[in-house]
Structure 1
Amino acid sequence: MLPPRIIRRLVLAPLIVVLAVGAVITLPIWLLVVTAASLRLPPPQRRGTRLVWFAVAWLTLETMMLGACLGLWVANGFGARLNRDEYQERHYELIRWFLAKIYEAAVRIFRLSVEVDEPTPTSDELSRRLTRPVVVLSRHAGPGDSFLLIHHLLTGYNRRPRIVMKAALQFDPSLDVVINRLPNAFVPNRAAESGILDEIRRLSSGMDADDALVIFPEGGNFTPRRRWRAILRLEQKGLAAEAARARKLEYLMAPRPNGALAAIEACPQADVVFVAHTGLDDLVTFGDIWHRLPVSAEIKAKWWRVRADDVPRDREEQIRWLFDHWDEIDAWIAENRPAPAPTT
């Protein structure tokens, strides 16, 4: 159960600072421990030291972000003017800085590379990049895919992302503080679908030209077990056609259309962007990361943009249209997915 906000501010936020300081002080000890733990691995694949360095970098940046959030809170009258555009923009700048630094650390520590394939935009599409809001529908698989997506939206497109997230993510203090100050939504794990759809409509209907609502239609990270559960759920609802199409998807779970369609309905002037990515799909648990994290990590992504005028408005057509794009994403992943890393 999530503790009250005042407890999270007074306990979890200071705890991150303590952990960051402790991690820096005890860094040599942790490096020795993880080096000993990974001695049975070949030298190029000893991942422990890289994971420790990244954890220290993350904790340090979290501490700096919390300090910046405190400074912004004081500067805007102890929270009295947080809803003003100028202060919201400063928080977006703070998120942009944080994710840029995390990305730089990942590139340096994990030899991460990200290749994004986008169609060459026409002059009309270039003008729409900052004159229309967008609804982003992305697959969900692998560690950090949401962070990379938000980073790309902020830096590559100068968009202000809006996200519906699980309430448990508020255990991360800096995420808890900064995201709750912006138009986003945290929903409990067992929240009623109607409540989630209400939040999606609220965020989507209030979008301006430079906003982007991010939705993961699968509802969670892909795993083979979750894929079969999604198929069974469709069959139990009597949706035989959708279940048959879901069975043909090899790397995706069947999309849950209600959230995506609610966003499109609430903001009909928005273009829709579909996002596929692959590269770290097999890294789901910490054990996967420990045993399969490659020496260098390469992520490939592809974005499709659909003009608002080309989005179908009939619900049945929209569902078929959504599954059609999911078929296209699945085929793209099959062509671009790297060979599975060997277990060591």
Structure 2
Amino acid sequence: MALSLVLRSQKIIGLSRVVPPLIYPSCNKFYQVREVHRKSVYKTEEAKKVRFYILNRFVDFLKNYDQILEKNFPTTMKTYKVFMEGIKDFITEMREYFKIVRMLNSSAGSYTKLLRREIELYYQMPKDMFKVAPTLIFSTLPFAFYVLLPLIYAFPKQLLTPHFWTLEQRAKFKTEYLHDRLVHNKPVFRHLQLQLNFIKHNKDSCIYETWSKVLGQLGSGVQPTVEDILSCKDLFMDEPYHLLYLSRNHILHLVKIHNIHPGWFRRTRLADRALILIEMDKAIMREGGVHNLPSEALKTACYIRGLNPTNVDEKYLVKWLSQWIKISNEINKENLSLLLHCPILLGYNEPSNWSLIYPKK
């Protein structure tokens, strides 16, 4: 009777749980034991070890995540890594390029303060920036990189610059680009031949005889001497071979040989290219001459000037580049056209060039 009254009174005052300590001591002890059991299981050393083990395994998984992706998607990861490294190299060279531009545009700016490598960078970087800019801008758009990555893998030559290529791709694409330049040697040579009749009737007979000999040697597979070429430099100071007198088609092929975009102001840009080539040659001599060039720098210098350096003896590359610089030393603003024709005058009959244009099948 008393117990029922107690229960009713607690129900009236709104108590939802009736665990009177004096009436149910054993029930209260049960709850206390269960709470202690809960806490002890969670805070035991074994539980801590399990948690730390899981956490450490997760951290290791994150550390090795690149390796896991590389194992499961090797081609994609390789392309991604090369692309990211390329961005770092590209940004580094772009900063260096703008530093060079600021220096040249300053009141005390001069090419004589630049190293050979810096002049080569100044020569090449504008084309690289123009080429890769659309790709880099597109890659910053949301989720665009996932679309861009397969395109980069499929068309690296068209979308990227050497900064983003593998070593194999660099060798392959540079050879292909040089081939595209060398195929214009023959049309330019034909244009030089077309002016022989004009020279015969309008120039000194001695110059005509020497120039006729030079072109005859080129046509028969013999390399003319530097002395004979220089003795005819007056032909490039006026009609018919000065830049202002060259035909439109002649200029177009010359632009292609020097890897210049065939847009507006072709003659002006050809003249600028000749001036930069002269500054490169001067920088080589300031740094100790052709013989002191590192092997890779020597090959790059020959490549820029229109000689295929692949599988060519290094001593021969030194000899060829020395001949180029010997002519370059005699060039001024009046006969820049002569230097622009040196890829033909010095490289038309080179075996490495012919093997690239006409590969054996």
TM-score by length of 2: 0.28
Higher relative contact order (CA 8 A, sep 6+): 1
Bigger share in helix: 2
Bigger share in strand: 1
Higher radius of gyration, 1 or 2: 2
